[in-house]
Amino acid sequence: MSNRKDNSNGRKLELLKFDPEPSGIFACKVLVETNVKGILIGRLAVWAWVEDPARQVYTKDLDIAISQKDQNVIVSHLAQKGFKVRELSIGGFNVTAEQDNVKVDFIHRNSPDWGDLSRLFEEAIEKAYESRQTVTLGEISLYLVPVEYLISMKMGTAEQKDEEDIKYLLEMVDDVDVHALRSIVDHHLGPLGKAKLENILRQVGHPDARPRGKYVS
């Protein structure tokens, strides 16, 4: 049975190690007040796609993908409300309010150090809004990154934990559209990303994995 739920129902997170509700409420309020599109990504999105509390690994914050063009709008809005932000080296910023248990990273993924994946993030946001797939945190809902884009985002890092998340998603979400995933990776991450994806597919024994050395355009 598929782990992908009907779009109209949304998805509900029941977490043991991290309570994202205060951060989710905060992020949702900011997006509504600024009229900015943003979607849930990162480790919490993995938890949303694979509802297995036993496999939830600790995360310290909630990640929201935004378009780079919207960063200044959000930062100005937060500054007017007295919040301080911290720039992220990967492209984006963090806002923390310890007294309210709020820790949110707003990420657009364009930076001199980590490269420019902003178009991937913008495309993921548009696809999430088109699909209307949501995740529920307490009394609010956020749009959820499509699983193929979540995998692609994690392909664009050099972090071992992200590769582990990719394998976990490919093993546990049984209706990942591998054809669409290949297209996204090829377009946004190029030949090296494409080769890395095929290697991971083989490592997890995915039924759609291509034999080593087989080139398909």
pLDDT higher at 57 or 195: 195
Predicted TM-score (pTM) of the model is: 0.87
What is the per-residue pLDDT across 114-169, written as a single tens digit (0 to 9) for each? 999 999 999 999 999 999 999 988 888 999 999 999 999 999 997 899 999 999 99
What is the per-residue pLDDT across 13-60, written as a single tens digit (0 to 9) for each? 554 455 788 999 999 999 999 999 999 999 899 989 987 655 555 567
Q: Which residue has the tokens 């690994």?
A: 57
Q: In the CATH scheme, what is the code of domain 10-145? A: 3.30.460
Domain edges within the chain = 10-145, 146-210
What is the per-residue pLDDT across 91-100, written as a single tens digit (0 to 9) for each? 999 999 888 8
Q: Which residue has the tokens 């009394």?
A: 139
